[in-house]
Chain A
Amino acid sequence: MGRRSSRRELFLCFSRASSSPGLLFCKMLGFLQHPVMVTAEVNLNMVALTAMGLLSRLWQLAYPRAVVFDEVYYGQYISFYMKRIFFLDGSGPPFGHMLLALGGYLGGFDGNFLWNRIGAEYSSNVPVWSLRLLPALSGALSVPMAYEIVRELGFSHCAATGAALLVLIENALITQSRLMLLESVLIFFNLLAVLSYLKFSNSQKHRPFSPRWWFWLVLTGVACSCAVGTGLGPPSPGWGDVPSVLWQVRVLCHLLARAAALVVLPILVYLLFFYIHLLLLYRSGPHDQIMSSAFQASLEGGLARVTQGQPLEVAFGSQVTLKNVFGQPVPCWLHSHQSTYPMIYENGRGSSHQQQVTCYPFKDVNNWWIVKDPGRHQLVVNNPPRPVRHGDVVQLLVHGMTTRLLNTHDVAAPLSPHAQEVSCYVDYNISMPPQNLWRLDIVNRESDTDVWKTILSEVRFVHVNTSAILKLSGVPLPDWGFRQLEVVGEKLFRGYHESTVWNVEEHRYGRSQEQKERELELHSPTQVDISRNLSFMARFSELQWRMLTVRSDDSEHKYSSTPLDWVMLDTNIAYWLHPRTSAQIHLLGNVVIWASASLATLAYALLFVWYLLRRRRRVCDLPEDCWLRWVLAGALCAGGWAVNYLPFFLMEKTLFLYHYLPALTFQILLLPVVLEHVSDHLAPCTHSVWSCWVGCKTAKKRQGRAGSSRPRQGPVLLRGRWWTQPGPLLLT
């Protein structure tokens, strides 16, 4: 809404006047002498568009009062936020989730709802309306923003209105905005970033370093990081004009301002999201296992409850559980039990027949090990405790329950024959001597005399005789090994890999000399006392790293699709189906808009190449400013489309039609731009065609609404969609 007031003139007058107090006073008097005038210009186009956007997105928002498609996925995170339980979602940074949760917070949601199935009715404590409000609002505001972007690109009101109308009536966008989903938020921030960048670069021409200039510059940066924080929608405003700025002393100021607003600020905002995220979520929850022990210990409950009050420094005689740092395929602890390796494996190889050592993904009393000093027989901690340091040779790890020593020798491991078998030594009197000395190698030490610390130290165990390294191979053993994971002595590879690194998770000083007492001691829980906290940056970097590396199981899905299906709308998603009346919601685009937007992109590319080649031969079809406008529109809209679309070809995760919506929005913006260009420069007679298009779109609106809001009785068959949809639309 372009509203200009005389206040700005006042402001100017103040700023000019502030240099001398006398002048200022004089001006004040002038202000008293004249009446206060406020003139306002209201662009009714924009008002109407915004109103229509709000109407289409907000009307009957709480219908259906049931879990619709991916609400089942995002809903659980909202509940986690409400209950302050830590979670990890590999699909993207947490800003979008937090926005959804904000809706829940405003609506007074207590988080008590079981998000387990699509179509489940919401209970009365779920504020459906306010949960869906923020995505709907951002969807609605995208409409006037589309208008503004096309205006700022320098095209006519007609084109701008066209673009906004197209965004308004695109039924896929409507459907997606009306539910607790993140795409509309992502689109909103994408558009905001583009818009503020355009405003910024337009004000650059007139008055650099004015407040307005700063405002839009900063907003660009913030919107970029919001877009990245929502999903991985890469922001498109580029560095295009930076080199073209005049080479003057002021260049440095320009560079600095841009660096601050477009690099430093977004990074800070991004960090802020995580800060809030970690601040909000302080309780342990179901995703703890993925994180490192140190991270888990920093959450309330869970591991922290177990590890509080543990002694920090591991000493000779300590009882410990050892967790593998790699955590793939599952997080697990070094484990042993009474069973031995089978004498002969299925493939005919022999084993040492000694006690099995495995990695076990559950807490168990058999995960306890005792760190023993090779020189002494005692299994208790001295007073004062003698800490274990980097480089110490420990007769590592007597297994707590069976009091056997961890051992490895030149026998091939059961499933990874290139590595050595690891066992707990059993003396069969067959001239196979025990080789149970291990040297401690603290990987993340600060000095060579560093002490082995609980949770914090990451250690490797290097076998003294064969210099093999204790390693989790991650292969599940057959039935004789109870499907636990294989642990081997790796002798070929001596570089760093996380699967060779272990850390102490639970720890206590051993007090009891007798085996019976010790077993009792091992079974008893550790006591509770202090907590250890990680710094924010450490937690942030770990969380970020896990987010990027966490692997989602590639489940096939009935409605998953490939990026190629999206352009021609060869796919749809059934979002919701009423169990009795068969009313349903489908995510389905308006095929006319999709096809014409794709055609527009194609036409743009062809025209662009044509003009470019002609210009190269010094034939200028377009005036210079028109050409620049044409290039900028293409760079932002076609570029935005490409940047939001092409990376999906490289992704290996399951993809759905809604992933295309951000790209589609940019493509839609390009359509009126191309049409106006064609009508202005190529064929003046195409005006009639243009009006035809708009009429056509409005006719389509009826269909667009059908899918999203109005329930239909009985099975729905959208007539006229048969030409792209091979599968049956009919759901029974």
Chain B
Amino acid sequence: MLCATSRLLAARAASALPAHPRGRGPVPRSRRRELHFPGHPELPPGDLLAGRFAGPSVSTGRRAILRRGRMPPAAGGGLAGSELRPRRGRCGSQAARAAGRDVATETATARSPKRPAPPSSRRFEAAGRWALLALVTLTSFATRFHRLDQPPHICWDETHFGKMGSYYINRTFFFDVHPPLGKMLIGLAGYLSGYDGTFLFQKPGDNYEHHSYMGMRGFCAFLGSMLIPLAYLTVLELSRSLPAALLTAALLTFDTGCLTLSQYILLDPILMFFIMAAMLSMVKYNSCANRPFSAPWWFWLSLTGVNLAGALGVKFVGLFIILQVGWNTLSDLWHLFGDLSLSMVTLGKHLTARILCLIVLPLALYIATYAVHFMVLNKSGPGDGFFSSAFQARLSGNNLHNASIPEHLAYGSVITVKNLRMAIGYLHSHRHFYPEGVGARQQQVTTYLHKDYNNLWIIKKHNSNSDPLDPSHPVEFVRHGDIIRLEHKETSRNLHSHYHEAPLTRKHYQVTGYGINGSGDSNDFWRIEVINRKFGNRIKVLRSRIRLIHLVTGCVLGSSGKVLPKWGWEQLEVTCTPYLKETLSSIWNVEDHINPKLPNISLEVLQPSFPEIMLESHLVMIRGNNGLKPKDNEFTSKPWHWPINFQGLRFSGVNDTDFRVYLLGNPVIWWLNLLSIALYVLSASIFAVAVQRGVHLPVKVEGLSQVLLRGGGQLLFGWMMHYFPFFLMGRVLYFHHYFPAMLFSSMLTGLLWDTLLRLCAWSLASYPLARCVHVLGILTLLLGTAYSFYLFHPLAYGMVGPLAQDPRSPMAGLRWLESWDF
């Protein structure tokens, strides 16, 4: 169905593109192909320096040179293949490529007589390309899988994510501030590799012993290794230059930070994989922009959507790549919109396609991961307390599961009242008075996290003390706006408040238990209100969010969340707040409910629907994330530390004798990246000014400047998107948050240095010398990074022995910054 429509759309689109002569000779390029290097038919012979895609149609003179061309041995891995064809003949930069598949075949036949290059040579080049890709992938896998089993104990955050993987295997419910996809994948990998979920993952340093952990580590390392081919292909697509791509791959392969981060059971390799995959598919789909609605176009567009869902499903920082793709799509649509040759119908199709693939599809996948998450985790576990009572009723093993209680509150009901804020607990009182000097010497009222008889309260009418459970009385339901009295069941004192300051929060009023056997005074009267309901409505167990407003003083019953001193048994303070804000700490819900006169209903009826579960879990996650505030005096990593590689993270081991792993970027690479960003901004602004002033650049330089401005611009934008938002974040930050940004900055480095070297080479007159400069430059960079990796590899692969201050240490002399701690 989809296929049929797409073909139909494609055919229409093709007819709507009158400007495209199909595959004959040099053609004018369509304006909105932004991202690739517009090849020029009349390229000068100097273009040979290293493989670059040919323009859409290659002149005979150029072709002759192509055959001469050889890659520099280091750059090309000893393989010929200076001439790169668009892979598999699709997604090339040719405007001439027609939209539909049928048209494409026609094009191919039309072009074939004009392409005299011998098929063997082409096959050879293709083979070279594939071999190079394979080589890059192999190196990356080799570095990532080398000594993967070391150390055989828990490192750093493995204690969290490994534990969460185990929870999935055991199907126990837990709570985490990140979305579930990453941990689900880890759990799946563990499950498939025979891990049984019995290891406790208690604290870093615990030995794995006989438990199988390699499956989970291997899975993360696999995704971490895939980063490098992805980056390679992205840069290749953006710059059309093999050396640039190769340099990028080398930077990432030889970075100790990426390597370390890929070797453990963490969310980061999974997140980075999805980010890079989304980036690659976005770049690919941009290249297909000249053939909208063709099969590859749909493929890459929907793949972008899938990867976006993956990135967001692993961590919320996946939002940044979504913003980047969104921005790219918007500017793309803006360009299409400005193209007057396109009809509004075509534009509508474009818009619909993007909405479908980039909004609807990812959203559906994202929701699907949650559906799986809630389906798999159906047993009560450590995360229960974070969620509302109604939610807990879903989990088997929880005492609310399969319980049956009366649905609506009535006078005479015995209830427990739970605060809606996380980890506050139930309204509680006990036979102890507030001590001398803390308000009135009346019975304490607190909140308490555990279930207890002292949490039980009886709802009574404010004006009569008759027993409502007397069978002669009719059942009378409590309604929104009623004036009630809450009597503590064990001590028969009423919930009471008055104008005394609360024990800890001085601006609030004290709440006490008062009266004898249920008879008190008018300060015991509370108005019960349901949030967002009309007056006169009944109050539902679990579902209704209620407030208790003190009738005399007008304040609201709430918990400040502060811990009382010893006299209050370190339970939490309950106050009556005069500020009428709707905060969660002053909202309660009824959890247990006992009333023999009412029929019990099963709690299943009250269970929240799936959208409600989604909403609630997101609220809890956001609150949890905001709750991760740095404490006073804690050493926290600041965003400005990251790009300068100021300080690493200790993954394992402290002392001389321990097996130590230290997450730290390879300083050579990181500082090169930093330099490159500055250089990029400089050179790009020079080019931008030149373009603005209408300077006529030579064709060759013009092409390079396009690569620099467009391809590099996207990478720089990616870096900024993944880095700068951290400056605004209030939560605790860690060094590893920088790594997605670091991927982008490495790609930028690869692209920039290749382009700069080409520019250098171009400015030299003599052709062999120019080639030499380029080859030498790339070689130096490659060898330099490799050598620095040789120096710093113990950081990632682990080291034993004296610390770096000691001259006998393998890292002696390499502690270039005092803040590095290995």
Contact = CB atoms under 8 A, between A and B. Distances in A.
A339 to B, nearest CB: 20
Contact of B579 (A329, A493, A557, A617): A557
A496 B633 contact: no
Interface in A525-574: 555-558, 560
Contact of A499 (B338, B579, B633, B819): B633
Interface in B722-737: 728, 730
A492 interface: yes
A289 interface: no
Contact of B581 (A328, A556, A616): A556
Interface in B688-741: 693, 728, 730
A616 B336 CA distance: 10
B632 A329 contact: yes
Contacts of A681: none
A617 B340 contact: yes
A617 B337 contact: yes
Given A493-B821, A558-B578, A616 B633 contact: no
B730 A326 contact: no
A617 B336 CA distance: 10
B579 A328 contact: no
A652 interface: yes
Given A472-B633, A474-B633, A617-B340, A495 B728 contact: no
B818 interface: yes
A328 B337 contact: no
Given A247-B693, A474-B633, A494 B338 contact: no
B635 A495 contact: yes
Given A617-B337, A652-B730, A494 B821 contact: yes
Nearest to A329: B632
Contacts of A618: 340
A631 interface: no
Nearest to A494: B821
A420 interface: no
Contacts of A616: 334, 337-338
Contacts of A326: 633
A247 B728 CA distance: 38
Contact of B819 (A492, A495, A555): A495
A613 B337 CA distance: 8
Contacts of B337: 613, 616-617
Nearest to B338: A616
Interface residues of A, number: 27
A176 interface: no
B11 to A, nearest CB: 24
Nearest to A551: B632
Q: From DSSP, what is the main secondary structure of chain B's interface residues?
A: loop
Given A556-B581, A650-B728, A727-B580, A497 B338 contact: no
B818 A495 contact: yes
B663 to A, nearest CB: 15
Contacts of A499: 633
Chain A CB within 10 Å — which of B334, B579, B581, B633 has the most?
B633
B647 A495 contact: yes
A493 B635 contact: yes
A328 B581 CA distance: 31
Nearest to A418: B654
B654 A492 contact: yes
Nearest to B694: A247
Interface residues of B, number: 22
A557 B650 CA distance: 43
B691 to A, nearest CB: 13
A473 interface: yes
B633 A494 contact: no
A493 B338 CA distance: 57
Contacts of A555: 507
Nearest to A562: B581
Contacts of B650: 492
A475 to B, nearest CB: 8
Interface string B598-635: 00000000000000000000000000000000001101
B340 A494 contact: no
A509 B581 CA distance: 59
Chain B CB within 10 Å — which of A328, A493, A556 has the most?
A556
B635 A497 contact: yes
A494 B818 contact: yes
A472 B634 CA distance: 10
Contacts of A613: 337
A496 B340 CA distance: 60
B484 to A, nearest CB: 22
A618 B338 CA distance: 8
Nearest to A416: B633
Contacts of B334: 616
Interface in A162-220: none
Interface in B321-357: 334, 337-338, 340
B635 to A, nearest CB: 5
Contacts of A560: 581
A419 B654 CA distance: 13
B411 to A, nearest CB: 28
A485 B635 CA distance: 17
Interface string B568-585: 000000000011110000
A140 to B, nearest CB: 35
A558 B579 contact: yes
A473 B633 contact: yes
Given A616-B337, A616-B338, A618-B340, A328 B635 contact: no
A499 B631 CA distance: 13
Nearest to B565: A479
Contacts of A617: 337-338, 340
B415 to A, nearest CB: 28
Nearest to A485: B633
Interface string A709-732: 000000000000000000100000
A385 B818 CA distance: 33
A457 B797 CA distance: 41
A557 B580 CA distance: 10
A727 B549 CA distance: 14
A496 B821 CA distance: 12
Interface string B651-689: 000100000000000000000000000000000000000
B819 A494 contact: yes
B251 to A, nearest CB: 26
Contacts of B818: 494-495
Nearest to B654: A492
A613 B344 CA distance: 12
Contacts of B632: 328-329, 474
A564 to B, nearest CB: 13
A326 B635 CA distance: 12
Contacts of B635: 493, 495, 497
Contacts of B728: 650
Contacts of A475: 633
A328 B633 contact: yes
B578 to A, nearest CB: 7
Contacts of A556: 507, 579, 581
A496 B338 contact: no
A492 B650 CA distance: 10
B333 to A, nearest CB: 10
Closest 9 CB pairs of A and B: A474-B633, A495-B819, A616-B338, A474-B632, A616-B337, A493-B635, A499-B633, A558-B579, A328-B632
Interface of A: 247, 326, 328-329, 472-475, 492-497, 499, 555-558, 560, 613, 616-618, 650, 652, 727
28 contacts: A328-B632, A328-B633, A329-B633, A472-B633, A473-B633, A474-B633, A475-B633, A492-B650, A492-B654, A492-B821, A493-B821, A494-B819, A494-B821, A495-B635, A495-B818, A495-B819, A495-B821, A496-B819, A499-B633, A555-B507, A558-B578, A558-B579, A613-B337, A616-B334, A616-B338, A617-B338, A650-B728, A727-B580
Given A474-B632, A493-B635, A650-B728, 9 more contacts: A329-B633, A472-B633, A474-B633, A495-B635, A495-B819, A558-B578, A560-B581, A616-B334, A616-B337
